[in-house]
Amino acid sequence: MADLLRIDNLSKKFGSLRAIDGLSLSLRRGEALGIIGPNGAGKSTLFNLIAGELAPTAGAIHFDGHNITGVRPFRRCRMGIGRTYQIPRPFGRMTVFENLLVAASFASGRAESACRAGCIDVLHKTGLLNKADSLAGHLTLLERKRLELARAMAVRPRLLLLDEIGGGLIDSEIQVLVETIKKVMEDGVSIVWIEHIVHALLAVVSRLYVMNFGRQLAEGTPTEVMANPLVQEIYMGIEAE
């Protein structure tokens, strides 16, 4: 089966800084891939490149067999790429349901009336149905995180990019979030998840990809990667012998 996402020798420079340096990775359909690495490793820059918010200096991005390196962000969204942000960005003066309708209508190019049923389904899956008429600006942090996930799901993605969606949550809230993400995967959505809360990642992903200074440091099963001495030293601060 062909990969859903393939990144070939991708690079991104900001002046003399090489934020992404010859990076390659692939994602199979229905797979959940976790990405870890120290702050400044280039993880969010990678997401911005995949989503089209940044243009690469070199390399190529393929999605579902198509080269999307030069495709504009809204086109990528309509092709099936959804994402969340580290800091939730809802329309605070709109209700939760209205936030989803805007996302769904923009992504599909359909009228909001045609998107209502799908948005209700997303609210149910993300545990926000009872908050549908609440203003987004009045939500708790966990609810805003759920709304961030729900808005990404409203675009009906085949690939979902999760950027540190667990940040700032306590353990019980993390567990709720993990169960929600598992439900999302049951619909066949492929996931790439950047997260510093490793135990949350390990509950979902089947493969880990480690970045450092914009490059691949390690890749493999969670067990293999977490046992890697370089990963332990650079990411977890455990001195390698």
Helices (H), the chain: 43-51, 73-79, 96-108, 116-125, 141-154, 171-185, 198-202, 222-226, 229-234
- CATH label of the domain that carries residue 182: 3.40.50.300
pLDDT value at 240 more than 90 = no
- Does 187 reside within a domain? yes
- Does 36 reside within a domain? yes
- Does 12 reside within a domain? yes
- Does 93 reside within a domain? no
- Provide the whole-model pTM: 0.93
- Does 139 reside within a domain? no
- Does 229 reside within a domain? yes
The whole-angstrom separation of Cα 203 and Cα 104 is: 29
Structure tokens at 18: 């090489």
- Does 152 reside within a domain? no
The whole-angstrom separation of Cα 193 and Cα 115 is: 26
Residue range(s) defining the domain that contains residue 221: 5-87+159-234
- Does 94 reside within a domain? no
Structure tokens at 191: 């996931």
**Tally of structural domains, the chain:** 1
pLDDT value at 1 more than 70 = no
The whole-angstrom separation of Cα 104 and Cα 111 is: 9
The per-residue pLDDT for range 150-209, each reduced to its tens digit, is 999 999 999 999 999 998 888 998 998 899 899 889 989 999 999 999 999 999 999 999
The per-residue pLDDT for range 52-78, each reduced to its tens digit, is 999 999 999 999 999 999 999 999 999
